[in-house]
Structure 1
Amino acid sequence: MREPQIDYAAVFHALPGMVALLTPDLVYADANEDFLRLAGRTREQLLGQYIFDVFPENPNDPAAAGMRETRKSMLRVVAGGERDTMALVRYDIEERERPGHWVKHYWSPVNAPVLDPDGNVMLVVHRVEEVTELIQARDGGGPENDDRARVLEAELYTRARELQEINERLRRAHARDREVALALQEAMLPAPTPVGHHRAAVRYQPAVGTLNVCGDWYDLVDLPGDRIAVAVGDVVGHGLKAACVMGQLRSALSAASRVADGPARALEALGLYARHVDGAESTTAVKTFIDWSTHTVVYSSAGHPPPALLGPDGTVVFLDRATDPPLGARPHHVPRPEATVSFVEGATLVLYTDGLIERRDEDIDAGLARLAGALVLHRRSDPETLADALLADLLPPTGNTDDTALVIIRL
């Protein structure tokens, strides 16, 4: 028997009840036919629009809380990657044909995440049950209908309170898990020790919904002479498993950099070690050796975004002349390349992971150009100020779906 060819787009639009899809920024991506019909909006009025621009709060109702509660629920889904069932809410809708005329509605919403293969929230499913007629049934139809409406309303509110209590318990458990995760993160990514008289800043920004532990790391190591080794890396995935792999690889690379004669040899040693670490495959990393006595940076990259060298005059050069595949990408050991670039006093070296620049809907060159523009704009800032400025300028204000590590060294 041949398996049926299912048109899931057609299934979605034919679903009974109101269902909409929103991006993590709460912008409408799609809505089924019942949603359009019952909400009184066309597809053109929804798609690409921020949800609360399409459905603002009733300004004539000072007690209105539907927008606030709906936003909080959706942001919990984006941040935690888990379904959130809301309590019964009243959310009035303005009639398109009669501006200023608001129609009372009662909704029972559920918001749920759609995850990509890496476990990131790529869509929010917003399913709504319209219960206005049940709540307002007491307005007519006689005593029998009035009593039945009161019973239904009481049951709905009781159920809503139960769901709120369950959600609150889950949130408290999640908060406890975050405390454990933060302790783990601090143990694995401690504040860097001073690197001689050189100024450095580091930042670690976890992805939303990942308990503050992910697979990105940074490392700074003092070397003999006026030299330091700096690295950043990115393990595939999120959560505790990726963090444990990250901890092993970070420690191994840190140790290798102390005995290797250059960044390429350090990455080769890490690659050999990574073959025996479950979950380390496809890890990317970049390693730099900075030498102030020769004013040079020697670097090697294992499939990682290129470091940026910012000159005092505002020129930005991406160090991309020694890039090889990620760890574990080749079946056999192959020597890795390395390159050397000179710097002048007052230059700035910036190492980062892909969360700082990559976006799902654009080419990586757009992210690199955005980083270069931000570096030029803030080129006179000290490392600490520059680190904060880059995160503020380049990361989404609602939080990123990928974690970010950032290291800035004033040369």
Structure 2
Amino acid sequence: MIDYAAVFRALPGMVALLTPDLVYADANEEFLQLSGRTRDQLVGRYLFDVFPDNPNDPEASGARNLGASLRRVLETGERDSMAMQRYDVESLDRPGEWQERYWSPVNAPVLGPDGRVVLLVHRVEEITELIAAHGLPEGSRARVLEAELYTRARELQEVNERLREAHAREREVALALQAAMLPAPAPLEQLRAAVRYRPAVGTLNVCGDWYDLVALPRHRTAVAVGDVVGHGLSAAGVMGQLRSALSAASRVTEGPAQSLEVLGLYSRSVDGAENTTAATAFIDHDVGTITYSSAGHLPPVLLHADGAFEFLDRATDPPLGARPEHVSRPQATVAFEEGDTLVLYTDGLVERRREDIDVGLDRLARALAARATDPPDALADSVLADLLPPGGATDDTVLVVARL
């Protein structure tokens, strides 16, 4: 059996573990040696209490840049490599004396079973000797190299910041576009429904999830959800086109399978629509039936008033555009009783990294069954609270709860 604690301490390079609150959880031997700190001086202490910026340097930015990088890892769940940093360290032997130091840091997440960041791996390579070129005269090649490298590193840091700002603006525009195309559903005469949309956390992860509720002739209602492959503005734009097309198709076709067939044909003319998933259900309030069809989407749930449930998975077909030729899609019908609840959702609610999808579906079913008689709004809020990580999911989430 491998002793991973021993492996960590023997790693060739400076590595420390931080909690999400940026408190040292551990550090390997090389980190202790090169930072000039003991384990007792690190573990359990806040990072920037141990290593603050040099108060004698008004342009010191090492702590600020490192803090921004660590926050990005916490928000996105993704690794962040930093440009070279000047980050002076105070001498413990001579308090008030600061040593000029240069570092090349990389920060990476350790994810828990629920997808949340539970630890931060902070790996640092010290490059002070390369940059400082101590002992060489001013004007030497080493001094020129030092100035050039430091200038280029600062420029790279500025470029990275501009890119992150641009990505953040794209996220804001994509969210505004989604909000405009996913308005609050109009009240439906025969259906009480709650709809929830939660965007993905992180700058680049805004996706193309959508929902729709449509009043149909002959006392029927269509409920649909979908998920476009991809991220950002392009996915949001594709989402708007497909949502509108399915909404229109639902009004003129006899059933959900035909609606998805029309949507599939239309999707062939829309760049970026390939492999979109969607599920739609037609509720007939007069006869008490739900007719449904799915294009590669996760199965809706029919929740009964007594807490029993069933996944509506008897009419599942490939995603849009997955077949080279047009093929009729299947549909199935199930009966419901007054007080039952139909639940449609997208994968951000149930999928987690390195976890089988059946685990997420079981978690959803148990959360629904525990509150089967709650009003739709309360049920939707409780399900989101139970299933989404506290820091938010890394994929968009749509949830539609319709009381029949």
Indicate whether 1:257 and 2:242 are aligned: no
Within-5 A mapping of 1:102-121: 108=103, 110-111=105-106
Q: Please say which of residues 181-190 and 78-87 is displaced more in the overlay.
A: 78-87
The whole-number CA distance in structure 2 between the counterparts of 1:169 and 1:348 is 47
* Structure 2 partner of 1:57: 45
The whole-number CA distance in structure 1 between the counterparts of 2:17 and 2:280 is 41
Indicate whether 1:75 and 2:71 are aligned: yes
SS in structure 2 opposite 1:253? helix
Shift in alpha-carbon separation, 1:169–1:379, aligned structure 2, 3 A: same
Q: Please say which of residues 240-249 and 211-220 is displaced more in the overlay.
A: 211-220
Q: State which of 281, 291, 297 in structure 2 corresponds to 1:298.
A: 291
* Structure 1 partner of 2:263: 270
Indicate whether 1:128 and 2:116 are aligned: no
Q: Which runs of 5+ in 2 are unaligned?
A: 1-8, 34-41, 54-61, 91-98, 110-114, 131-149
Within-5 A mapping of 1:196-235: 196-210=189-203, 213-235=206-228
Shift in alpha-carbon separation, 1:67–1:410, aligned structure 2, 3 A: farther
Q: How much does 1:234 deviate? A: 0.8
Shift in alpha-carbon separation, 1:370–1:22, aligned structure 2, 3 A: farther
Shift in alpha-carbon separation, 1:169–1:330, aligned structure 2, 3 A: closer
Aligned residues: 347
* Structure 2 partner of 1:317: 310
Does the CA-based 8 Å contact 2:63-2:87 persist in structure 1?
Answer: no
Matched residue type, 2:183: P
Does the CA-based 8 Å contact 1:185-1:213 persist in structure 2?
Answer: no
Q: How much does 1:293 deviate? A: 1.0
Q: State which of 279, 282, 291 in structure 2 corresponds to 1:286.
A: 279
Matched residue type, 2:250: S
Q: How much does 1:133 deviate? A: 11
* Structure 1 partner of 2:373: 380
* Structure 2 partner of 1:392: 385
The whole-number CA distance in structure 2 between the counterparts of 1:302 and 1:368 is 18
* Structure 1 partner of 2:232: 239
The whole-number CA distance in structure 2 between the counterparts of 1:312 and 1:240 is 40
SS in structure 2 opposite 1:237? coil
Q: How much does 1:277 deviate? A: 1.2
In the TM superposition, what whole-angstrom CA distance separates every residue of 1:115-135 from its partner, at most 9, and x where no partner exists?
Answer: xxxxx999987432458999x
Does the CA-based 8 Å contact 2:205-2:231 persist in structure 1?
Answer: no
Matched residue type, 1:190: P
* Structure 1 partner of 2:364: 371
SS in structure 1 opposite 2:241? helix
Q: Please say which of residues 310-319 and 193-202 is displaced more in the overlay.
A: 193-202
Does the CA-based 8 Å contact 2:219-2:284 persist in structure 1?
Answer: yes
Matched residue type, 2:348: G
SS in structure 2 opposite 1:271? helix
Q: State which of 175, 188, 193 in structure 1 corresponds to 2:186.
A: 193
The whole-number CA distance in structure 1 between the counterparts of 2:155 and 2:208 is 37
Does the CA-based 8 Å contact 2:307-2:371 persist in structure 1?
Answer: no
The whole-number CA distance in structure 1 between the counterparts of 2:315 and 2:151 is 63
Shift in alpha-carbon separation, 1:379–1:278, aligned structure 2, 3 A: same
Does the CA-based 8 Å contact 1:77-1:84 persist in structure 2?
Answer: no
Matched residue type, 2:29: R
In the TM superposition, what whole-angstrom CA distance separates every residue of 1:97-147 from its partner, at most 9, and x where no partner exists?
Answer: xxxxxxx9x895644679xxxxx999987432458999xxxxxxxxxxxxx
Indicate whether 1:339 and 2:335 are aligned: no
Give me the identity figure in percent: 64
Does the CA-based 8 Å contact 1:288-1:297 persist in structure 2?
Answer: yes
SS in structure 2 opposite 1:228? strand
* Structure 2 partner of 1:405: 398
Does the CA-based 8 Å contact 2:170-2:232 persist in structure 1?
Answer: no
TM-score, length basis structure 2? 0.71
Shift in alpha-carbon separation, 1:36–1:302, aligned structure 2, 3 A: same
Does the CA-based 8 Å contact 2:343-2:399 persist in structure 1?
Answer: yes
